[in-house]
Amino acid sequence: MDSSQYGPLRAGTVITVEPGIYIPPGSPCPERWWNIGIRIEDDVLVTESGPVNLSARLARHPDQIEALMQKR
């Protein structure tokens, strides 16, 4: 059973999952990637039958995000 600082996760709870990568200056990668950070955040509903990713249909690919940014 998973738990949080508030106790076991229960059905009806929504949690945020925020994996990210942050590249500081001097990292062993091309300098063009220094000083950037990328996070992909999901909101997940805990249910009796398992997790439901509430943000699964959102744009993920850079081309999708750029297209959304161009819309008014």
What pLDDT is stored for residue 36 in this prediction?
93
Q: What is the pTM of this model?
A: 0.64
Instruction: Please give the backbone phi and psi of residue 32, each rounded to the nearest 5 degrees, phi first.
Output: -60, -20
What pLDDT is stored for residue 8 in this prediction?
84
Report the distance separating Cα 30 and Cα 41, nearest Å: 26
Question: 3-53, pLDDT tens digit by residue?
Answer: 567 778 899 999 999 888 999 999 999 999 999 998 888 999 999 999 999
